[in-house]
Amino acid sequence: MKKRSAATTLLTPMLALALALSGCGGHNDAQGTASGGASGSSGAGPSGSAAGSAAAASSGAAAEKVKLKVATWAGADELKEFEQLVAKLNASATDYELEVQSIPSDYYQKLQTMIAGKQAPDLMWLSQEYIPQYASLGAIAELDDLVSGVDGFKADDYFPGALDVGKFGGKLYALPWIAQPYVLYYNQDLFEQANVPLPANDWTWDEFIETGKKLTGDGQWGALLNNIPTAMYTWSYGGDVFDKDGNIKLDSSESIQGLEMYQKIVKSGIAPARAQADAMGNGDMFKTGKVAMFIGGAGDDFEKTVKFKVGMAVPPKGTHAVTFDWIAGTVLSKSTPHPNVAAKALVDLTNAIHRWKVVAPTKTGFDLIQTSRPEKMYAVETIRQASEIARGFNNQPKQSEIDQAIWEKLTQPIEKGDDVNKAVQDTIAKFREIVK
Amino acid sequence: MTGRKRQKLRRDVLLYVLLAIGSLSTVFPLLWMVSTSFKSGDVIFEIPPRLLPDGLHWENYRKALTEIDFLTLFRNSLVITVLQLMSNVFVSAFVAFGFARFHFPGRNVWFLLVLSTIMLPGEVTMIPVFIGFSEIGWINSIKPLVIPGFFGGSPVFIFLLRQFFLSIPRELEESAIIDGAGSFRIFCRICLPLSVPALMTIGILSFQGSWNDLLGPLIYLNDADKFTLPLGLSMFKGVMKVEWGPLMAGSILALVPVLAVFALAQKHFVDGFKLSGIKG
């Protein structure tokens, strides 16, 4: 995540330029009027799209279905399952026919090239940090009006943290199809051997450090936390990197408190050095019994792949109980010629994925864990608790550069033991350069 | 005498040990790949690492052949590679011959222009070129990958071949002209046969480059049944997890043609890099 190729960094401004040159308009008929205004606001949206759907309905009843492409990064097995899911949808749909477009490598590079070349797929998977960027560049469509009338779309069924990530500037742009809250896995055998009480769902970072110390020593470590985004420590104490409106909150006393806790954890020596863990493979260190506790996605397959007894708990808290949510959503291209039919396909597809992927970002989809992943049965309540407190980032249009700045100016200095306040000031200075 | 022999022996032993270490370190990644391709999923990341696989897990190969449509991918890769090879070798040679042998106005400017395209990073031209091809409806076909090459070849190869042609003595051509040969005939009958080592080198470089190219096919091809092998193999590298066993098995199968070409053409390859030209 933190290392991005030079290609992607170069491509983003190119895409912006290409979109600006093409004026974001004129590349389709139905949406053309809607995006003519500077904001492409909802005022023009419904009438334009209503006309589109009326045309689709009158001509589409007898004529063929609207063909829609959906771009996915799924590979090998996952792709086959996804294709089967889409085939089922196609069989029951009357007005659209989805076609899977597999992009097995350099996903965003290909996507950005296609968008700039006016060949954007109608539907696209996007990881959470890309949603504001694509929205602010005008590459993806606002969904509020498009999906509100569609059967099967229930905004209040989504976990709020997950749906928030699909929004930018108060408008909905993406329907999340997965929201994996980060949970704490533990090696129960190691706990029992060392006679240490098992983690509870409401424990604090201080208790976590104490427990970790008892499990560290002799080529073994108490915990491995490299998966946790640094922002999560600020959330733990009520802080944040940016608030919802894009104001910097990293230097608030709450955020600093969280970051100091992170430094305390690093200094306590309960976790292996990052380079060492990366070299050995993070998940693999837990699988091979080298670390006793591991924070990772609730859908990880440890239960099936390890020989010891696995336990699960909600990650520790500071003053606030919160955890990170790995979220991806599906968005609609702004250039799709039939936005209303595409919106219907988007809702149907998203609901179908909720029945396939664990953990679904909806309350009804959530209960399906018990049938689709029976090995997670023992932890359903923990995952539910985690889902309720899970959230994503307040993503910014230049999130990828911001992530890079956090990694260079904040995470690394804190891990090295530098002064937290100075690291925060350096990071903020970098933010101002990026956002300028 | 015996002292000198011993000294020689000692030098030889040292030399062979160094060479053995050198070749082992070169071959090791390949051997590791072969070993990994036979390992079961749990063993691949075992610590300490295992050199030998835990039995022969052929299912990695079965997965590599069935989870992705290996034969179709292989055929697609072959078609693109062969077409690119033809354009890279023959068209580049043709253009290079022009630069080496004809004096026309602005020759050096044109040549510099060709060379300057080497300096441009591909990412900068990617979107404009993509837009261009999309305007003429070539997206989702192999046309953007193979046709441009036939209108000018590849700048790096043009540069290499031009230097090589310049080293061919003019006297050979002059005698051919006296015998009544035209420029095209000189190119076909004199320059090309004398440049076999250089052409072979370029052929191998081109083959290897096209066979392993990921970005070109990724950008221009949309349908899975048009994909090439590198695209197919990257399907095993998911966002959440990498299936190392099948990935390694598939990579080995994809590597076979490259190894075969290299083994067959190895002698010329080395000759070509020496660019020895003609003596006398």
Tokens found for residue A221? 């470590």
pLDDT at B45: 65
Q: Which helix (H) or strand (E) covers residue A297, if one does?
A: strand A291-297
Give a yes or no: residue B187 inside a domain.
Answer: yes
Q: pLDDT of B226-268, one tens digit each?
A: 999 999 998 888 766 678 888 889 999 998 888 888 888 777 7
Give chain A positions within 8 Å (CB) of B214: 105-106
Question: How far apart, in whole angstroms, are the C-alpha atoms of residue B216 and residue B133?
Answer: 13
In this prediction, residue A38 has a pLDDT band, given cuts at 50, 70 and 90, of very low
Average per-residue pLDDT for chain A? 83
User: Closest residue of A to B135, CA-based?
Assistant: A117
Mean pLDDT of B182-203: 89
Average per-residue pLDDT for chain B? 86
Give chain A positions within 8 Å (CB) of B246: 76
pLDDT at A34: 32
| B122 and B247, same domain (yes or no) | yes
pLDDT at A227: 85
In this prediction, residue B65 has a pLDDT band, given cuts at 50, 70 and 90, of confident
Q: Would you say residue A253 has pLDDT above 90?
A: yes
Give the whole-number percent of chain A exceeding pLDDT 70: 86
Give a yes or no: residue B209 inside a domain.
Answer: yes
Give a yes or no: residue B279 inside a domain.
Answer: no
Q: Virtual CA dihedral for B187, B193, B198, B201, nearest 10 degrees?
A: 120
Mean pLDDT of B168-193: 89
Tell which residue, A97, A329, A142, A324, has the closest CA to residue A232: A324
| B115 and B155, same domain (yes or no) | yes
Q: Would you say residue A158 has pLDDT above 60?
A: yes
The total number of residues shown for chain A amounts to 436
Question: How far apart, in whole angstroms, are the C-alpha atoms of residue B100 and residue B158?
Answer: 10
What total of structural domains would you count in chain B? 2
| B227 and B184, same domain (yes or no) | yes
Give chain B positions within 8 Å (CB) of A287: 45
pLDDT at B239: 67
Q: pLDDT of A257-303, one tens digit each?
A: 999 999 999 999 999 988 888 777 778 888 888 899 999 988 888 88
SS3 category, A197: coil
Comparing CB atoms, the residue among A6, A119, A280 nearest residue B139 is: A119
| B23 and B97, same domain (yes or no) | no
Q: Is the ipTM of this complex over 0.90?
A: no
Q: pLDDT of A313-372, one tens digit each?
A: 999 999 999 999 999 999 999 999 999 999 999 999 999 999 888 888 988 888 888 888
Tell which residue, B47, B38, B173, B167, has the closest CA to residue B96: B167
Comparing CB atoms, the residue among A79, A119, A288 nearest residue B134 is: A119
pLDDT top residue among A17 and B123? B123
A6-179+326-391 and A181-325+394-435, same CATH topology: yes
A118 interface with B at CB cutoff 8 Å: yes
pLDDT at A7: 45
| B73 and B133, same domain (yes or no) | yes
Q: Would you say residue A250 has pLDDT above 50?
A: yes
Measured at the CA of B144, the angle between CA B141 and CA B149, to 5 degrees, comes to 135
Domain ranges of chain A: 6-179+326-391, 181-325+394-435
Window 362-381 of A, Cβ < 8 Å to B: none
Q: pLDDT of B11-50, one tens digit each?
A: 999 999 999 999 999 999 888 888 888 887 666 666 667 7
Give a yes or no: residue B95 inside a domain.
Answer: yes
Give chain A positions within 8 Å (CB) of B234: 75, 104-105
Q: pLDDT of A388-397, one tens digit each?
A: 899 989 888 8
In this prediction, residue A140 has a pLDDT band, given cuts at 50, 70 and 90, of very high
Comparing CB atoms, the residue among B47, B131, B227 nearest residue A280 is: B47
A110 interface with B at CB cutoff 8 Å: yes
Q: Quick count: other Cβ atoms within 10 Å of Cβ B131?
A: 18
In this prediction, residue B269 has a pLDDT band, given cuts at 50, 70 and 90, of low
User: Closest residue of B to A22, CA-based?
Assistant: B131
Give this prediction's pTM: 0.77
The residue segments making up the domain with residue B161 are 65-274
Q: pLDDT of B127-144, one tens digit each?
A: 889 999 989 999 899 999
| B153 and B42, same domain (yes or no) | no
pLDDT at B93: 93
Comparing CB atoms, the residue among A10, A74, A297 nearest residue B123 is: A10
| B151 and B234, same domain (yes or no) | yes
Give A284→chain B minimum CA distance, Å. 7
Q: Are A59 and A338 in contact (CB under 8 A)?
A: no
| B181 and B87, same domain (yes or no) | yes
| B69 and B28, same domain (yes or no) | no
Q: Would you say residue B116 has pLDDT above 80?
A: yes
Give chain B positions within 8 Å (CB) of A105: 214, 218, 230-231, 234, 237
| Best mutation target, A113, A127, A178, A287, to test chain B (most B CBs within 10 A) | A113
| B148 and B212, same domain (yes or no) | yes
pLDDT at B21: 94
Task: Return the half-sphere exposure (C-beta side, CA atoms, 13 A cut-off) of residue B24.
Answer: 6
pLDDT at A284: 81
In this prediction, residue B77 has a pLDDT band, given cuts at 50, 70 and 90, of very high
Q: pLDDT of A402-433, one tens digit each?
A: 999 999 999 999 999 999 999 999 999 999 99
* Pairing of β A291-297 and β A221-224: parallel
Give chain B positions within 8 Å (CB) of A72: none
- Interchain CB distance below 8 Å, B234 and A75: yes
Give chain A positions within 8 Å (CB) of B47: 280, 284, 288, 290
Give chain B positions within 8 Å (CB) of A227: none
A280 interface with B at CB cutoff 8 Å: yes
The domain A6-179+326-391 is placed in CATH, from the list 2.40.280.10, 3.30.70.920, 3.40.718.10, 3.40.190.10, at 3.40.190.10
| B126 and B49, same domain (yes or no) | no
- Interchain CB distance below 8 Å, B224 and A106: no
User: Closest residue of A to B41, CA-based?
Assistant: A305
Give A7→chain B minimum CA distance, Å. 6
Q: Which helix (H) or strand (E) covers residue B10, if one does?
A: helix B2-37
pLDDT at B158: 93
Residues near A281 by beta carbon (within 8 Å), at least 6 away in sequence: B45
pLDDT at B15: 94
Exposure letters B33-72 (e unless 16+ CB within 10 A, then b):
bebbbbbeeebbbeeeeeeebeeebeebbebbbebbebeb
Comparing CB atoms, the residue among A69, A110, A280 nearest residue B219 is: A110
Give chain B positions within 8 Å (CB) of A288: 45-47
A23 interface with B at CB cutoff 8 Å: no
| B180 and B73, same domain (yes or no) | yes
Angle between helices A339-354 and A44-60 (to 10 degrees): 90
CATH fold of A181-325+394-435: D-Maltodextrin-Binding Protein; domain 2 (3.40.190)
pLDDT top residue among A65 and A62? A65
pLDDT at B172: 87
Mean pLDDT of B5-11: 90
Q: Would you say residue A10 has pLDDT above 60?
A: no
Comparing CB atoms, the residue among A75, A127, A281 nearest residue B235 is: A75
- Interchain CB distance below 8 Å, A113 and B45: no
Comparing CB atoms, the residue among B46, B67, B214 nearest residue A105 is: B214
